[in-house]
């Protein structure tokens, strides 16, 4: 697959979402993944991770000549882990590390897993292209907008910063099952899931893009790939994490300056499913080509050494998580590599 500016990829993504959601719903009604047949790989979870996993799945299926079917759903990181920990899926896409409650759910169900970072994302705050005043925002201003105490109170742009217009502040963001929601609220508000609720939520980032693109006064946030594919519809806001405004980009993620909104993204593989040849081949294909696909869909590839380490962890296999059930706010690429290498 060749993605031209990712626009083609996400147009295909929009079409594929309805198809994969149908497939995922059908899969959920089955007693187990095994009942689908040994040549089907069921994946669900993060809409942020969806573009890279879907690109890998498409090419892997072509390589296998149709002998293996890979379904990729988009129920959000939290929704994906619910299915994964109940044995409904083989692989879970996640835009944050597995949380303690999800670890416990998997443990109770006897689901062991292998945690594999696949790329880095720059979580991107966007406004409408006609917005000519929010040329940057500080983390403190983001908190002022999104914290629970803002609900019903911070309703106009001039309440965010003196000099901003007296115009309604319309908000769009991921729903509560989203790992992006979890990460953003932890990084900005200081506590995961602590957020005002009077905004338009969706687990589908395309819905958020459309919302912001149609409203001059709108603000939203989602993964960088969706911004990169829609730069004609939305505008990224540079974020000041304490050292001046920094725009999201491959370079600012790699050098650690885009903080605190850059983050690793993952796939979690069922240890039981990994024993099936088609799942083993798929994951090895994913990791061996991870940098290429991450770049194609506008995420930041991990260093080559990171994919090598991840492949070793998968083949060993190394079970569990290196994050202890907590978010990884502010974790830079080199720090992730060090953490993975020590395991």
pLDDT of 29 > 80? The answer is no
Maximum Cα interatomic distance, the chain, rounded to a whole number of Å: 61
Q: How many CB atoms sit inside 10 A of residue 207's CB?
A: 17
Return the pLDDT at 332. Answer: 76
The residue count for the chain: 343
Q: 15-24, 189-198, 209-218, 252-261: which has the minimum mean pLDDT? A: 15-24
- Of the pLDDT bands very low, low, confident and very high (cuts 50, 70, 90), residue 289 is very high
Compute and round to an integer the Cα radius of gyration of the chain: 19
Q: How confident is the model at residue 1 (pLDDT cuts 50, 70, 90)?
A: very low
Predicted confidence at residue 261, as pLDDT, reads 95
- What pLDDT, on a 0 to 100 scale, did the predictor assign at position 32? 39
Nearest to 27 by CA among 37, 36, 19, 39: 36
For 57, 94, 99, 311, the CA distances from 40, given in Å and listed in that order, are 11, 20, 27, 22
Which pTM does this prediction carry?
Answer: 0.83
Q: Choose among 54, 58, 109, 116: nearest CA to 83.
A: 109
For range 283-309, the mean pLDDT: 94
Whose CA is closest to 10, among 303, 325, 299?
299
Q: Please write the tens of the pLDDT for every residue from 112-142.
A: 999 999 999 999 999 999 999 999 999 999 9
Q: Give how far the C-alpha of residue 121 lies from the chain's centroid of Cα atoms, to the nearest Å.
A: 7
Helices (H), 175-317: 179-184, 205-213, 224-228, 250-254, 277-288, 290-296, 304-315
Are 307 and 290 in contact by the 8 Å Cβ rule? The answer is yes
- The pLDDT, as a whole number, for residue 18 is 39
Please list, in sequence order, all residues whose beta carbon lies within 8 angstroms of the beta carbon of residue 152, skipping any fewer than 6 positions away: 198
- Answer yes or no: is pLDDT of 169 > 70: yes
* Per-residue model confidence as pLDDT tens digits over 215-232: 999 999 999 999 999 999
The tens digit of pLDDT for each residue in 194-219 reads: 999 999 999 888 999 999 999 999 99
Mean pLDDT within 323-337: 79
Give the best-scoring range by mean pLDDT among 127-131, 180-184, 294-298. 127-131
Average pLDDT over residues 13-34: 40
C-alpha 282: how far from chain center: 20
Mean per-residue pLDDT of the chain:
88
- Give pLDDT, residue 343: 55
Q: Do 228 and 142 form a contact (C-beta atoms < 8 A)?
A: no
């Amino acid at each position: 697959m060749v993605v031209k500016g990712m626009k083609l990829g996400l147009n295909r993504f929009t079409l594929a979402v309805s198809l994969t959601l149908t497939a995922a719903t059908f899969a959920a009604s089955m007693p187990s993944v095994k009942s689908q047949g040994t040549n089907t790989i069921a994946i669900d979870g993060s809409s942020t991770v969806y573009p890279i996993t879907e690109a890998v799945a498409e090419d892997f299926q072509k390589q296998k000549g149709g002998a293996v079917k890979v379904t990729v759903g988009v129920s959000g990181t939290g929704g994906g882990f619910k299915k994964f920990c109940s044995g409904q899926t083989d692989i879970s896409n996640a835009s944050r590390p597995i949380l303690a409650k999800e670890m416990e759910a998997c443990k109770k169900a006897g689901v062991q897993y292998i945690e594999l970072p696949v790329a880095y994302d720059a979580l991107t705050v966007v406004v409408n292209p006609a917005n000519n005043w929010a040329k940057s925002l500080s983390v403190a201003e983001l908190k002022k907008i999104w914290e629970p105490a803002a609900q019903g109170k911070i309703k106009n742009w001039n309440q965010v910063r003196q000099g901003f217009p007296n115009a309604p502040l319309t908000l769009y963001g991921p729903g509560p099952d989203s790992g992006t929601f979890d990460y953003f609220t932890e990084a900005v508000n200081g506590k995961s899931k602590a957020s005002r609720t009077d905004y338009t939520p969706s687990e589908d980032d395309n819905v958020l893009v459309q919302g912001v693109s149609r409203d001059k006064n709108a603000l939203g946030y989602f993964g960088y790939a969706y911004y990169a594919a829609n730069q004609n519809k939305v505008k990224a806001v540079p974020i000041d994490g304490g050292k001046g405004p920094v725009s999201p980009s491959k370079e600012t993620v790699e050098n650690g300056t885009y903080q605190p909104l850059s983050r690793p993204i993952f796939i979690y593989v069922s240890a039981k499913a990994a024993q099936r040849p088609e799942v083993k081949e798929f994951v090895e294909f994913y990791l061996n080509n991870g940098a290429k696909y991450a770049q194609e869909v506008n995420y930041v590839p991990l260093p080559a050494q990171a994919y090598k380490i991840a492949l070793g962890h998968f083949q060993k296999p190394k079970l569990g998580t290196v994050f202890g059930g907590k978010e990884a706010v502010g974790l830079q690429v080199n720090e992730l590599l060090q953490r993975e290498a020590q395991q």
